[in-house]
Amino acid sequence: MRWCHSSLLHLLCCLRLRVCTRKCRVRLPVRLRELWPYVKLVLQSLQYNSLTNSDVVFDSVFEPVFWTVDRITRWFGMVFVCLVVVLTSSILLICYTILLPLVISTYSPGWVVWHLCYGHWNLVMIVFHYYKATKTAPGYPPIVKNDIPFVSVCKKCIIPKPARTHHCGICNRCILKMDHHCPWLNNCVGHLNQRYFFCFCLAMALGCMYCSISGRNLFLDAYNTLELLLMLFSSSKTNYQTASPPYTFRDRMVHKSIIYMWVLTSTVAVALGGLTIWHAVLISRGETSIERHINFKETKRLAKRGKVYKNPFNYGKFNNWKVFLGVQKKSHWLTRVLLPSGHAPPGDGLTWDIFPFKRDTLPV
């Protein structure tokens, strides 16, 4: 028994010595052992931020997606502009070669004059405002040192940002009173060209509605004619004695052109009309698309505290429209709204009156 007990103790001592020897072999150097707690603390500090919320996490996770979309939009900007020009030119070609001769030959002189005046006024408004919206810079904050008040510093441009200024990832710079980046303009919509953008959307929506309503009967006739041609063509394959359709190639192309025009203008009228109405609502509230989301969040945040948030740039619906359109006297409703005008918006886009006023400021 003594032998067994001593042997067992000897065996345990050997095993302990062997384990300790192995531990000594894998033990890290003293300097690394002192550095490791510091590295752990740094890694943990990178994961902690008192300002972290769901929006920050969402932006961080989808940053590669945003980067890809920004690059694609920047590369294909001119493609979208060319697409707008080509589609609009195709509709104009159909209107001048097909619809205009029908209007002159079938309508009364009064209706012919109305169609000619309204159609060409609408066309001038579309071309003028689209050109100005694409070629006019939206407005940029100064990059040199100045005394202009600012609300924050851009994390990407590293320059002071005045009120209502936001950074555009596609243009890669800050934009004054930024609304959004429009790929169909290949340009940002900001302080200096927002009026051109809205007037273009309104004129294009009205023009598409005009073509859609005016060409409705022509569309129905062309659609029924093509449907009849398809029926005759299918029956001619089964019955060789059936006479060929009396329509020529030109007639078929005319019918297809009318169908193409009506489908395209109706689709654009619905889509662009909804966008125009939405921007009209934002203008009435004195805010941009970006500010709409910011104001919504601020309203919810203050509501939890029992407070009411008021937009500091809302001057009342009528005054908001006058400031947006640059109307300073009654004659401007004709010269600056109903007719093409290249006047600059009021203000410099760097400082804003943050004291809302509800009274009518239009001089009498």
For 140, residues 6+ apart whose C-beta sits below 8 A from its C-beta are 173, 174, 175, 176
SS3 assignment for 184-238 = CCCEEECCCCHHHHHHHHHHHHHHHHHHHHHCHHHHHHHHHHHHHHHHHHHHHHH
Of 95, 168, 171, 182, the catalytic one is 182
- Say what angle helices 289-304 and 249-285 make with each other, to 10 degrees: 40
pLDDT of residue 124: 97
The rounded distance, in Å, linking the Cα atoms of 17 and 23 is 10
pLDDT of residue 23: 47
- Mapped onto helix, strand or coil, the DSSP state of residue 3 is helix
The rounded distance, in Å, linking the Cα atoms of 327 and 201 is 19
H or E stretch covering 187: strand 187-189
Left if phi > 0, otherwise alpha if psi is -120 to 50, otherwise beta: which for 29?
A: beta
For 347, residues 6+ apart whose C-beta sits below 8 A from its C-beta are 191
pLDDT of residue 3: 44
pTM over 0.85? The answer is no
pLDDT of residue 41: 77
Residue by residue, pLDDT tens for the chain (364 residues) are 444 445 545 555 555 555 455 444 556 677 777 788 888 777 776 666 666 666 666 666 767 777 777 778 778 889 999 999 999 999 999 999 988 888 888 889 999 999 999 999 999 999 999 999 999 999 999 988 888 888 888 888 888 999 999 999 888 899 999 999 999 999 999 999 999 999 999 999 999 999 999 888 888 888 887 766 666 555 555 555 555 556 677 777 888 899 999 999 999 999 999 999 999 999 999 999 999 999 999 999 999 999 999 898 998 899 999 999 999 899 999 999 999 999 999 988 998 887 555 555 444 3
The rounded distance, in Å, linking the Cα atoms of 62 and 56 is 10
Provide the residue count of the chain: 364
Q: Which one, of 177, 272, 259, lies nearest residue 225 by Cα?
A: 259
- Mapped onto helix, strand or coil, the DSSP state of residue 161 is strand
Rounded alpha-carbon distances, angstroms, from residue 11 to 2, 22, 273: 14, 17, 90
Which value, to the nearest 10 degrees, does the dihedral of the CA atoms of residues 146, 147, 152, 158 take? 10
Place of tokens 């409705």: 216
CA-only gyration radius of the chain, Å: 34
H or E stretch covering 63: helix 63-75
Q: Is 174 a catalytic residue?
A: no
340 contacts 124 by C-beta, under 8 angstroms: yes
- The Cβ of residue 125 has, within 10 Å, a number of other Cβ atoms equal to 20
The rounded distance, in Å, linking the Cα atoms of 71 and 256 is 37
